[in-house]
Amino acid sequence: MVGYAFMGAAHSQAWRTVNRVYDLPARARMALICGRDTAKVADAADRLGWDAHTTDWRDLINRDDIDVVDICTPGDSHAEIALAALAAGKHVLCEKPLANTVAEARAMTAAADVARATGVRSMCGFNYRRVPAVTMMRQMVADGRLGVIRHVRAVYLQDWIVDPQFPLVWRLQKDRAGSGALGDIGAHIIDLTQFVTGQRISGVSAVTETFVKERPLPAESSGLAASVDGHAAPTGPVTVDDAAVFVARLDGGALATYEASRFATGRKNALRVEINGSLGTVVFDLERLNELEFYDATRPAVEQGFNRILVTEGEHPYMSAWWPPGHIIGYEHSFTHEMRDFIEAVANGVDPTPSFADALQVQLVLDAVTRSAELGSSWTEVAPALTAAAV
Ligand SMILES: NC(=O)c1ccc[n+]([C@@H]2O[C@H](COP(=O)([O-])OP(=O)(O)OC[C@H]3O[C@@H](n4cnc5c(N)ncnc54)[C@H](O)[C@@H]3O)[C@@H](O)[C@H]2O)c1
């Protein structure tokens, strides 16, 4: 694994847990973790349960006993690490968004296509697909329970940078993160809604905004605390969007709206999706992730209404290995499910999803949103996802 902070911890927990919960054809051994600071990565290895640590990710590539490279770093290093790992025959799990640019995502997808021919697998970490209620939504749509999908309404709202004194961390720098709320949390609702509906976004009209354009440099990069001797800390420009809002058409005929913001005061991690079809509506709210709301318009009129489905039965996706019905699961379980599916796919010699090609398609939507916003919200088609290999 490369990176040991937020996603590093979440993935480590999943790698630790997955073989204890699920009966799988292969076992994960947590061999080597990489970070840039020797003392910190040593501490992380100990805390998160890794056998060894290094400060150079190339050590993962060079070791013959390592089969899988799990990339949990900011987007500016995804492409370099993934390309090297695939070339060395390592299976790759890469966090989302796949890359910082479409060009990088295309190169990664092409490399994944080449590697696949020799049995090397790759997957992008859109973990919310594997919340059981989300997987179930997809099944309901596929089973025709919603009929023809007319509307998709998706928001992903946070508020952690409302304070203008919040420092200029990597997520607020375009060269490190690619984009702001759009790529960080907007990417999740783009992938989730396309996954659930089976439809792809074909075109968008967007607005984006950077509400706070200058922020204090983080203490570790400026070497200064927030203020020194009464002088304000040095500042730098915010080079990404704070919020992105767009309307979209899906290729199956649905109209969709998307909102991704880090300025939704009071909203901590509010991912909500509502899908309206000709036969019903389904609603998901990440802050109540064990539940789905379902309105079944095929019921007799006198019985119609929104029902709450508690998605904790053994028959529900992923749930048979967990607890008895009603004993709820949480955020981290989505990563355990991700590792389960990844290990199964690798061990059984099949391609896991979402593939790098799927993640490239999300990247193309991000790019269309950015271009539309730059062009005064003009209607912008999503470019075709032809990979270099396919071309
Ligand atoms: N799936 C999700 O729900 C989810 C949630 C948060 C973040 N992410 C994604 O995960 C990735 C990491 O985000 P995070 O929140 O964990 O960030 P973070 O800042 O918490 O951690 C980043 C880690 O990468 C390390 N790192 C950075 N550059 C490195 C390099 N060149 N070599 C080795 N280590 C390096 C840092 O030291 C740190 O350990 C991003 O792509 C982000 O978009 C996904």
Count helices and strands (H / E) in the chain: 12, 18
Kindly give the distance from the C-alpha atom of residue 124 to the centroid of ligand 1, in angstroms, as a whole number: 14
Note the pTM of the prediction, 2 decimals.
0.96
Kindly give the distance from the C-alpha atom of residue 295 to the centroid of ligand 1, in angstroms, as a whole number: 38
Kindly give the distance from the C-alpha atom of residue 7 to the centroid of ligand 1, in angstroms, as a whole number: 6
Query: Which residue shows structure tokens 């770093």?
Result: 73
Strand partners for 48: none
| DSSP at 182 | I
| Nearest-CA residue for atom 28 of ligand 1 | 73
Kindly give the distance from the C-alpha atom of residue 71 to the centroid of ligand 1, in angstroms, as a whole number: 8
Q: Hey, which of 40, 69, 72, 363 would you mutate to test ligand 1's pocket, going by the most ligand atoms within 8 Å of its Cβ? A: 72
d(CA 252, CA 17): 38
Kindly give the distance from the C-alpha atom of residue 36 to the centroid of ligand 1, in angstroms, as a whole number: 12
Structure confidence at residue 388 (pLDDT): 46
Q: Hey, which of 1, 4, 6, 101 would you mutate to test ligand 1's pocket, going by the most ligand atoms within 8 Å of its Cβ? A: 6
pLDDT in tens, the chain (391 residues): 999 999 999 999 999 999 999 999 999 999 999 999 999 999 999 999 999 999 999 999 999 999 999 999 999 999 999 999 999 999 999 999 999 999 999 999 999 999 999 999 999 999 999 999 999 999 999 999 999 999 999 999 999 999 999 999 999 999 999 999 999 999 999 999 999 999 999 999 999 999 999 999 998 754 444 444 556 789 999 999 999 999 999 999 999 999 999 999 999 999 999 999 999 999 999 999 999 999 999 999 999 999 999 999 999 999 999 999 999 999 999 999 999 999 999 999 999 999 999 999 999 999 999 999 999 999 999 998 875 444 3
d(CA 126, CA 136): 16
Q: Tokens standing for 26?
A: 């292969």
* Backbone torsions φ then ψ of 253, nearest 5 degrees: 105, -5
Structure confidence at residue 232 (pLDDT): 75
d(CA 244, CA 170): 18
Question: Do 106 and 98 form a contact (C-beta atoms < 8 A)?
Answer: no
Kindly give the distance from the C-alpha atom of residue 78 to the centroid of ligand 1, in angstroms, as a whole number: 10
Distances from the Cα of 176 to the Cα of 38, 123, 132, 278, 353, angstroms: 22, 21, 32, 43, 26
Kindly give the distance from the C-alpha atom of residue 183 to the centroid of ligand 1, in angstroms, as a whole number: 13
Q: Find the residues whose C-beta lies inside 6 A of ligand 1.
A: 2-8, 34-36, 57, 72-75, 77, 95-96, 125, 127, 184
From the CA atom positions of the chain, what is the Rg in Å? 21
Q: Tokens standing for 205?
A: 């009209």
| Nearest-CA residue for atom 22 of ligand 1 | 73
d(CA 140, CA 275): 11
Q: Hey, which of 95, 171, 173 would you mutate to test ligand 1's pocket, going by the most ligand atoms within 8 Å of its Cβ? A: 95
Structure confidence at residue 123 (pLDDT): 98
d(CA 318, CA 311): 10
